[in-house]
Amino acid sequence: MNARAVTVRRSARAVAAAIVMSSAWAAMPALAVELPKPAALSRQLDPRIGQAVTVAVLEPHLMHEGRMPEVRYVGFPADAVLTAVLGDGWRAPGQELTFRALDGFISRIPVERFTQHRAWLVHARADGTAFQVDNDKKGGPPVPLGPFYLVWDNRTSKAMQAEGGMQWPYQIVSVDIGPSSMRALMPAGVATTYADAAELARVHCLSCHRIRGYGGDKMPLDLDVVVKGYDAAAWKRWVLTPTAVRPGTAMPPLAEGLPEAERAAIAQRLYEYLRALPAR
């Protein structure tokens, strides 16, 4: 990485940090733990699971017309890695893991998902080719996946296959554990019936954006504020087909793997929820 790239990244981080500091909702107190290099991690793990394993998954980041190729990766079981770096306490229900990537992308995943589904933190492709995925949809260079990439056992779960890659963060550098985001996403004054929509926002939007200051650093705009500039039709058009509104945009279309009617229903539900959030 050249000096300019470093400077740019730092200043972007500084801006993001300022936004976090100024947000009404206090940032999580938890300290992010940097993941060690694979070899060091292997030594740190329980000797019985310290050997890297090969896993086959359907790769959601290579989804094309609703189909995903099978890709084989090398890595460690995620629950073993999490226990090694965070201690046993990470499994307590009602908590949320935060995976942070090199570029500010954040993925927050409830611990319950790790008890319901198997996951691995992988660091290489089994066939020895470059640890990356193509980026042909956006016309850019391939996307590197390292140092770590979180993959899920999705080969037998149609529901997991449909949800796309939002809970498959790559370029993971650190992880921490904290209270569930529901406290920030469901403030006093919003009907509890919107909890499903808050969860949809967490899964589909908050890896890049924020709600009431809570979310990712990749494109840290507050959806509860920007939604005010949209009517329902314009909102759905943007969220469902961003490139039709702004060709070449880096904003991904919502849940591409789902049927159109379901995508439209999610976009509508997000709109209603965001409009229902009390002003800050």
Q: Which residues within the stretch 179-218 sit at the binding site for ligand HEC (CB under 6 A)?
A: 204-205, 207-209, 218
Per-position DSSP letters for 97-150, written without gaps between them: EEEEETTS-EEEEEHHHHHHS-EEEEEEETTSS-SEE--TTTTSPPEE--SBEE
CB of 254 to ligand HEC, least distance (A): 4
Phi first, then psi: what are they for 105, rounded to 5°? -65, 135
91-95 long-range Cβ contacts below 8 angstroms, 24+ apart: 91/115, 94/179, 94/180, 95/177, 95/178, 95/179, 95/180
Q: Given the complex with ligand HEC, which of 78 and 106 has the nearer CB atom?
A: 106
CB of 212 to ligand HEC, least distance (A): 14
Of these, 223, 224, 257, 263, which contacts ligand HEC (CB under 6 A)? Answer: 223
Phi first, then psi: what are they for 99, rounded to 5°? -100, 125
CA–CA separation, 33 vs 41, rounded Å?
13
Strand partners, 120: 77, 151
Q: Given the complex with ligand HEC, which of 18 and 226 has the nearer CB atom?
A: 226
Question: By Cβ distance, which residue is nearest to ligand HEC?
Answer: 205
Q: Is 128 exposed, middle or buried (0-12, 13-18, 19+ CB in 10 A)?
A: exposed
Site string for ligand HEC, 261-280 (x = CB under 6 A): ---------x----------
Site string for ligand HEC, 106-145 (x = CB under 6 A): ----------------------------------------
CB of 22 to ligand HEC, least distance (A): 20
Q: Which residues within the stretch 238-257 sit at the binding site for ligand HEC (CB under 6 A)?
A: 238-239, 246, 249-252, 254
CB of 215 to ligand HEC, least distance (A): 10
Closest CA to 173 of 251, 88, 107: 107
Q: Which residues within the stretch 77-106 sit at the binding site for ligand HEC (CB under 6 A)?
A: none
Helix (H, G, I), strand (E, B) or coil at 229: helix
Of these, 219, 225, 264, 276, which contacts ligand HEC (CB under 6 A)? Answer: 219
How many residues interact with ligand HEC (rule CB under 6 A)? 18
Helix (H, G, I), strand (E, B) or coil at 73: strand
Q: Do the bridges between strand 149-152 and strand 119-125 make them parallel or antiparallel, or are there none, so unpaired?
A: antiparallel
> What is the contact surface with ligand HEC in residues (CB under 6 A)?
204-205, 207-209, 218-219, 223, 226, 238-239, 246, 249-252, 254, 270
